Amino acid sequence: MCRGLESLPITCLERAKELRALFGSLLQRSDHTGQHKKSDKLRLHEVNEPLKWKESFDNLMSSQNGLCLFRAFLVSEYSEENIAFYLACEDYRTSKPSKLATKAKKIYEEFIDSDAPREVNIDHATKELTKENMKRPKQSCFDQAQDRIYTLMEKDCYPRFLRSSVYLELTRKTKTG
């Protein structure tokens, strides 16, 4: 399971803690005079970013700020292993062929194996398929397991994130800004 907040990279933790302040300060600095400079457009885009996260899980996952805040949320929910596994698979998929076997073994031992310290919750058939794929690691050997975890986060964790006090406060400030 999750090792707590210490398992998050310090930069992500700091970023997650600063997001409320960042979006809040951007809202306060908004210029309501009707004159818009290039920097104002950038600011408005950043201010509206949290509202886009509610549109789809893909929007949240493709936003660096959203991903950081979501990861911090998962740490608080004791399910950070899901996003860690998902991101490890993304990294694995772009690895050089010479590194696949080593990386696959590390991911399997950390997240899939029955004794894994951060075991993710996947069904038996997916676990067996992944184990079979480990015999000849390819960039796609974790695809089914990654898809299962993505769906789990989308159907379970994401709705809870959207109802969380941090996200609701962030969107409230954005809407009333």
State the pTM of this model.
0.75
| pLDDT band of 16, cuts 50, 70, 90 | low
- Considering only CA atoms, which of 128, 124, 122 is closest in space to residue 146? 122
* pLDDT for the residue numbered 173: 80
**CA atoms of 31 and 86, how far apart (whole Å):** 39
| pLDDT band of 163, cuts 50, 70, 90 | very high
User: Lowest-confidence range among 7-21, 30-44, 87-101?
Assistant: 30-44
Tell me the CA end-to-end span of the chain in Å, nearest whole number: 38
Here the tokens at position 105 are 């073994």
Read off the pLDDT of each residue in 135-160 and give the average, rounded to a whole number: 97
User: Lowest-confidence range among 15-19, 66-70, 137-141?
Assistant: 15-19
pLDDT at residue 91 is higher than 90:
yes
**CA atoms of 110 and 37, how far apart (whole Å):** 48
User: Lowest-confidence range among 37-51, 83-97, 110-124, 158-172?
Assistant: 37-51
How many residues are present in the chain? 177
**CA atoms of 161 and 171, how far apart (whole Å):** 12
Reported as a single tens digit per residue, the pLDDT across 115-143 is 999 999 999 999 999 999 999 999 999 99
